Amino acid sequence: MTFDIITIFPNFFESPLREGVLGRAIKKGLINVRIINLRDFTTDRHRTTDDRPYGGGPGMVMIPGPLKEAITHAKKDDKDATVILLSPRGEVFDHEISRELSKKEHFILICGRYEGVDERIVKAFVDMELSIGDFVLSGGEPAALVIIDAISRLVPGVLGKEESAKEDSFATGLLEYPHYTRPREFMGMAVPDVLLSGDHKKIEGWRRKEALKITFERRPDLLKRVELSEEDKAFLEELKRKNR
Ligand code: 4H3
């Protein structure tokens, strides 16, 4: 899987792409990230990437010329690459979109700065606009990293066996149950007995209930999309009753 990132801040990506799961995936060659410096596609002496907006108003807009050249360069050997613009007005990215996108081979991510990019670039080249949430960033770069990380985790071999089982558990669509490790007692708080019982069926049942409970409390909206057993439903009814 290849990610081309078009940016005016190529150094931004240096350490995030070296560390952890993503760093290992790149080292192993499972994921290929190419940083494209937008300034390399400018034509004037000042290497200009922005200009004042038509119609007036504050801030600057990314000029279309260099963006067109950079995108064309990235598409050179693969006309089918998916061009994504990171933008607060895009579709809000989630696990499901991540799943869909993980079936694709090649992405070109455009990182905007200033007020954004000239709309004609969106019209002519952009396949999808994605947002990582309802807030504004000073550039698309952090959002690009978030999306690369989330999609790469779903590429076979990127996660170890242990980790990918965990990924599967997100497929339940529930928030995660609480985790504990040593020591058995910490600041007067003990690890729940059931986790020390060695009874795996019982532990599994407890974790399911904790996941249902925390999802019910924090993100009840998620429960509508989750597959629930009769036992789950009964437990949720019990929670609702207690909440009244
Ligand atoms: C993406 C990009 C938020 C998100 C972004 C998000 C700066 C796009 C500028 C950059 C434009 C203003 N902010 N929520 N910001 O995913 O170039 O929108």
Q: pLDDT tens digit string along 4-47?
A: 999 999 999 999 999 999 999 999 999 999 999 999 999 999 99
Specify if 157 maps to a domain.
no
Active-site residue set: 88, 115, 153, 168
Q: Is residue 194 predicted with pLDDT exceeding 90?
A: yes
Nearest ligand 1 atom, CA 93: 16
**What does the alpha-carbon distance between residue 75 and residue 106 come to, in Å, rounded to a whole number?**
9
Asked if residue 112 and residue 69 are part of one domain, the reply reads yes
Say yes or no: 119 and 194 in one domain: no
Residue 121 within a domain: yes
Residue 87 CA to chain centroid, in angstroms?
13
Backbone Cα Rg of the chain: 23
List the domain range (segments joined by +) for residue 64. Answer: 2-152
Instruction: Specify if 211 maps to a domain.
Output: yes
Task: Find the CATH number of the domain harbouring 219.
Answer: 1.10.1270.20
Q: Are residues 147 and 191 in the same domain?
A: no
How far apart are the two ends of the chain, measured CA to CA in Å? 50
Give residue 5 CA to ligand 1 midpoint distance, Å: 15
Number of domains the chain contains: 2
Average pLDDT over residues 76-87: 98
Q: Atom 11 of ligand 1 has which residue's CA nearest to it?
A: 116
Q: Which ligand 1 atom lies nearest to the CA of residue 112? A: 17
On the question of pLDDT at 183 being above 90, the answer is yes
In percent, how much of the chain has pLDDT > 70?
Answer: 99
Question: pLDDT tens for residues 97-122?
Answer: 999 999 999 999 999 999 999 999 99
Q: Is residue 163 part of a domain?
A: no
* Same domain (yes/no): 92, 44: yes
Average of per-residue pLDDT values in the chain: 97
Rounded distance from Cα 139 to ligand 1 centre (Å)? 5
Atom in ligand 1 nearest the alpha carbon of residue 113: 17
Residue of 5, 87, 118 with the most ligand 1 atoms within 8 Å of its CB, for mutation: 87
pLDDT (average), residues 159-177: 84
- The one-letter amino acid code at 83 reads V
* Residues 100 and 218 both lie in one domain: no
Residues 80 and 19 in one domain: yes
Looking at the domain assignment, is residue 23 inside a domain? yes
Residues having CB within 6 Å of any atom of ligand 1: 86-88, 112-113, 115-116, 131-133, 135-137, 139-140, 143
Residue 229 lies inside a defined structural domain of this protein? yes
Atom of ligand 1 nearest to the CA of 116: 17
Q: What is the pLDDT of residue 26?
A: 98
User: Considering only CA atoms, which residue is closest to atom 16 of ligand 1?
Assistant: 131
Looking at the fold, whether 96 and 17 belong to one and the same domain comes out as yes
DSSP three-state, residue 143: helix
Residue of higher predicted confidence among 167 and 128:
128
Same domain for 98 and 40: yes
pLDDT at 142: 98
**In this structure, is residue 159 part of a structural domain?**
no
Q: Is the pLDDT of residue 170 over 80?
A: no
φ and ψ at residue 210, rounded to 5 degrees? -65, -40
- In the reported structure, the alpha carbon of residue 220 is separated from the centroid of ligand 1 by a whole-number distance in angstroms of 28
Please give the Cα distance from 211 to 29 (Å, whole number): 35
- Same domain membership, residue 148 and residue 36: yes
* Pair (206, 91) in one structural domain: no
Pair 111, 86: CB distance under 8 Å: yes
Residue 34 domain-assigned? Answer: yes
In degrees rounded to 5, what are phi and psi of residue 83? -95, 120
CA-proximal residue: ligand 1, atom 10 (nearest): 139
Whether the pLDDT of residue 237 is over 90: the answer is yes
For ligand 1, the distance from its centroid to the CA atom of residue 6, given in whole angstroms, is 14
Q: CA dist 214 to 95, 108, 175, 244, Å? A: 19, 37, 7, 17
- Collapsed DSSP state (helix, strand, coil) of residue 21: helix
Q: Give residue 168's pLDDT band: very low, low, confident or very high (50, 70, 90).
A: confident
Examine the domain organization and report whether 131 and 216 are in the same domain: no
- Here the CATH number for the domain that contains residue 146 is 3.40.1280.10
Which of 136, 145, 146, 147 best tests ligand 1's pocket when mutated (most atoms within 8 Å of CB)? 136
Q: Could you say which of 132, 152, 172 is where a domain stops?
A: 152
Distances (CA, A) of 60 to 8, 51, 56, 100, 131: 14, 5, 10, 34, 21
Same domain, 146 and 192: no
Grade residue 215 by pLDDT with cuts at 50, 70 and 90: very high
Distance 137 CA to ligand 1 centre (A): 5
Q: pLDDT by residue (tens digit) across 119-166? A: 999 999 999 999 999 999 999 999 999 999 999 999 999 999 888 877
- Angstrom CA distances, 137 to 13, 31, 88, 241, stand at 16, 26, 8, 41
**Using alpha carbons only, what angle is made at residue 191 by residues 209 and 176, rounded to the nearest 5 degrees?**
35
pLDDT score at 161:
87
